[in-house]
Chain A
């Protein structure tokens, strides 16, 4: 679905490359969470996958084609929900009439169902909506396009608690083995229980990309009163210490994404990162 190899990119005027030799492979039928600190290049990566920014070197292929070619057939199979949402000053049904036909697999029934689930008024003018409503509308449209790749940049920004819950249910309900969702966010807990693989991007490279199944058999998370000697990483919380340890039992453990992210970034800072690109995928 997505193949990146030795991909490099530097913003004009910047001395330091954003991506030096970035590599990532995402198979079809994946909900991948993309995490990383501010300025790591998460949004840039999504724009690159959508053919909005072109890599300076290396390979970037999406659905077998280079997005930089901006082939209309490829663009009709990718939907990007950007962080800053722009919608034209028209009603939902007008938007549908104007833009849905660009997507050959657009499902009007799915759109109507998701819009109803998000409690949006089909006659409402888009530019008069709140940020959360605009996001909900674009998510409904993106889901209904049935594109094989749905890229979401901070999709939960502006969504209320109920909206976040609805989003998770809708994404799970409309994902299949032919379709992949890439979700970039700072809100790691919004991804808990939703994603089946995790990619952490920092300093222009992928620090970790692994399935949640694999991670949960390698690591376990426990809340303890004290930090054990074999702790790989811990954070103090109200109940004691949330600790990541090696999973010696071999049974899957429920992971805390925030804790996992903290562990990876700490290991990166210490230079003891235990992961390589494309581990276990």
Chain B
């Protein structure tokens, strides 16, 4: 298949990895230093039992990963670099797959490994200076697992933004997403207000008759539907990102 030829993809992937690798390593070194300092600052007080990793891991993974993702197609938008990017004899599918892997799943794996290193360094220093350390990082923690899954979804959306927006991709993606969510809520509210007129005792309050309020909560949906919709949306966003990349070549 001309869209994915293994030797060509392998070369492209290695090239992309080498190009992004330097940024990732520099960002990691900076985050490691700042992270250790923050960890020590928190540990200087009586905070030995806190699940510090929940905040540290999630914030650093989202900030680092999504920033990297938002910049991963910057060469495509740069007026001079654009020709260099476009003239490489590779397919669109190979381009997006390579950069998706680097900024998404592989970044996550790398970040988990990096976080273990950070925890070990920080714990050694914290024990040395303050005789205490926070609870050790647990990747199987349900909060971490949920945040990791959500990272992949957020990554797909930001990847789409990185392809679509020429500059400030992350900020514009967040604003667009916020706008979209707000618009959906508004449309939904207006529709509900009009269709279920009698169920609104006041302007905003929704009180469906004989229905316990909790039945509308997503937590009560059947799990498989929940998963199906999530995976379908995820794949849809990636597909839109791929078609947007094709459009941007024109």
| Interfacial residues, chain A to chain B (CB-CB below 8 A) | 50-52, 54, 68, 70-76, 78-80, 82, 84, 86-88, 98-99, 101-103
Contact = CB atoms under 8 A, between A and B. Distances in A.
A52 B83 contact: yes
A49 to B, nearest CB: 12
Contact of B84 (A72, A74, A75, A86): A86
Given A51-B86, A79-B87, A80-B83, 6 more contacts: A52-B87, A70-B92, A72-B5, A88-B84, A98-B15, A102-B90
B162 to A, nearest CB: 19
A231 B28 CA distance: 74
B89 A75 contact: yes
A101 B11 contact: yes
Given A75-B88, A76-B89, A88 B19 contact: yes
Contacts of B15: 98-99
10 smallest beta-carbon distances between A and B, as pairs: A75-B89, A76-B89, A86-B80, A72-B89, A98-B15, A86-B84, A82-B83, A102-B89, A72-B91, A86-B81
A98 to B, nearest CB: 5
Contacts of B18: 98
Given A88-B84, A102-B88, A73 B11 contact: no
B73 to A, nearest CB: 16
Please tell me the size bucket of the interface on B.
20 to 34
A266 B232 CA distance: 64
Nearest to B91: A72
A178 to B, nearest CB: 18
B19 A73 contact: no
Interface of B: 2, 5, 7-8, 11, 14-15, 18-19, 80-81, 83-84, 86-92, 94, 249-250
Contacts of B2: 71-73
B87 A50 contact: yes
Contacts of B81: 86
B84 A102 contact: no
A223 B7 CA distance: 60
A103 B89 contact: yes
Contacts of A54: 250
Contact of B249 (A70, A73, A82, A98): A70
A99 B88 contact: yes
A98 B14 CA distance: 8
A78 B86 CA distance: 12
A171 to B, nearest CB: 20
Which of B5, B81, B83: most chain A Cβ within 10 A?
Answer: B83
8 contacts: A72-B90, A75-B88, A75-B89, A86-B80, A86-B81, A101-B7, A102-B8, A103-B89
Contacts of A98: 11, 14-15, 18
Contacts of B19: 88
Contacts of B5: 72
A82 B83 CA distance: 8
A237 B87 CA distance: 44
Contact of B86 (A52, A73, A74, A102): A52
